[in-house]
Amino acid sequence: MAAVTASYIVDLTPNGSLKELFIVTPATADPGDTIEITLADYGITNLLAIDSVYHTTDNSVIVTSNGVDIMNTSVSSGVLTITIESGTGLSNYMRVIRIIGGN
């Protein structure tokens, strides 16, 4: 398991009470890799939903997860940890993860 360090985050609603973030991982993300986000950095105090898709071809073929590439999540001391589910065999795919939360 490794931390995904080359991701970038887009905050679509920086001034709204409902927050929507998108995390885009590099195409090297593998099952078991983790992503950590300090929710307060984006004004999130209540986590509402997380969903994701993955790209089988860089920036081209998008597949909805439909339970295949489930993200395991936990929050501790305001830090959201997302772990790409191991056991799926979906190595080296770019993932786009949407986080919805409120303040």
What does pTM read for this prediction?
0.78
Question: What is the number of residues in the chain?
Answer: 103
In 46-72, which positions are buried (b, 16+ CB within 10 angstroms) versus exposed (e)? Answer: eeeebebbbbeeeeeeeeebeeebbbe
The pLDDT assigned to 1 comes to 47
Sign of CA dihedral 26, 39, 15, 103: positive
Across the 103 residues of the chain, what is the mean pLDDT of every consecutive 10-residue run? 59 77 85 89 89 77 64 88 75 85 86
- Compute the CA torsion angle 21, 26, 27, 32 (nearest 10 deg): -80
CATH 1.20.1260 fits 8-102, yes or no: no
